[in-house]
Amino acid sequence: MEMKLQAEVMSHRFGLDSAECDVKLVLPGTVERLRPLLAMALEKMGYHVVSEDPLQARRGGVNFSLNVLKYSLSLHLGFKSVGEQATQVTFSYSLKHSGMGWVTKGDLPVLAREAEAIAAIALQGARAPICGRCGSENPAGSRFCRRCGALLAVLEPAELDVLRLVAGNRAAYQAILMGIVCLAVMTCCLAVLLSDLPVKLERFLIILGLLAGAIGWGPLLWGIYGLRRSVSLPGKDRPLKQHVREALSVPSIPSDGVAFSTTEVTTQLLEEALPPMSVTEGTTQLLENAPSPPSRTQEREVS
């Protein structure tokens, strides 16, 4: 039975060019067991692990973005035992931007969903992978089944799909909001031009309106497209589809309850595959199957 991960935002602080957020999450396992698993999960999420004790990681980014995960992030993980087999992990986020960008409370759920995705990847690395062909369990980190030799499929946790969906929707919402504000400024400028104004003020309003309209249509159209893409039906887009990544496809071989090794399977396939018959072998086989000529005694009886 899989454990449902639920991250909670504990505190946050917004500055002119920075933001901080603390997210807590309770995970099964001890601190010594979870620390290396979370370090491995951070590497898979694109972070660079600076130290493991204390566990600190960083990830580069841009100075301005509509997606909070695109900023430069520093992450500090704190551990606190809450039982014999349970640990509270605190994800302390710290991000920097140029001051032109903005981070609001609406971006905090994106950071919480990323913490859940990191925890899900860590817990997946601790589980024993189950072979999809024979159903046997294998040691953690195995790539091939030790019973039948099949390549083990790597399933992405559902928390990764949720993270893509939430982050995509938030970025699309920000783009649509920016586009609407710019188009509202353009509309106000055109409305003011209907009144009797000085020539210089009219020229300024015309330039401002055209600039706001040119800037507004881009984010608005991009946001509508991004929103439609992120909420598309399962199977049509990546965020809502769970993928199975395999390096190659291995043909299915019925085991009939017998444990085959890779060498035994290869030998069985070679024995079942008939090699092409040469001309000499074919002629010899025809001569062996041909009826023997009648003896002299049989010829005399016939005559």
> Which residues make Cβ contacts (< 8 Å) with residue 148, sequence separation at least 6?
131, 133, 134, 136, 253, 255, 259, 260, 265
For residue range 111-153, what is the model confidence (pLDDT) as tens digits?
A: 999 999 999 999 887 676 777 778 777 776 677 787 787 777 6
Pair of tokens at residue 125: 């690395």
Q: Is residue 110 part of a domain?
A: yes
CATH number at residue 48: 3.30.530.50
Q: Is residue 27 part of a domain?
A: yes
Provide φ and ψ at 204, rounded to 5°.
-65, -45
Contact 18, 96 (CB under 8 A): yes
Q: Is residue 102 part of a domain?
A: yes
> Which residues make Cβ contacts (< 8 Å) with residue 137, sequence separation at least 6?
128, 129, 130, 131
Q: 174 or 281: which carries more pLDDT confidence?
A: 174
Q: Is residue 40 part of a domain?
A: yes
- Return the residue matching tokens 């430069």: 72
Q: How far apart are CA 41 and CA 45, in angstroms?
A: 6
Provide φ and ψ at 101, rounded to 5°.
-85, 175
Query: Which of the listed ranges 79-88, 239-248, 265-274, 289-298 does the model predict with the highest average pLDDT?
Result: 79-88
Q: 115 and 190 share a domain?
A: no
Contact 103, 111 (CB under 8 A): no
Q: Region 151-173: what's the mean pLDDT?
A: 85
Per-residue pLDDT at 90 exceeds 80: yes
Q: 16 and 87 share a domain?
A: yes
Q: 114 and 181 share a domain?
A: no
Domain closes at, from 230, 250, 269: 230
Q: What is the crossing angle of helices 31-44 and 108-126, to 10°?
A: 110
Domain closes at, from 66, 100, 127: 127
Q: Is residue 155 part of a domain?
A: no
**What's the pLDDT score for residue 200?**
87
Q: Is residue 136 part of a domain?
A: no
Q: Which helix (H) or strand (E) holds 52?
A: strand 48-52
Q: 12 and 117 share a domain?
A: yes
Domain closes at, from 230, 251, 279: 230
Q: 79 and 184 share a domain?
A: no
Residue 27 pairs in a beta bridge with 87
Q: Is residue 33 part of a domain?
A: yes
Q: 113 and 205 share a domain?
A: no
The count of domains in the chain is 2
Residue 29 pairs in a beta bridge with none
Per-residue pLDDT at 71 exceeds 70: yes
Q: 172 and 121 share a domain?
A: no
Q: 109 and 38 share a domain?
A: yes
Q: How far apart are CA 23 and CA 11, in angstroms?
A: 8
pTM, to two decimals: 0.67
Which of 111-115, 159-163, 291-295 is the least confident region? Answer: 291-295
Q: Is residue 301 part of a domain?
A: no
For 186, the domain range is 167-230
Q: Region 158-184: what's the mean pLDDT?
A: 90
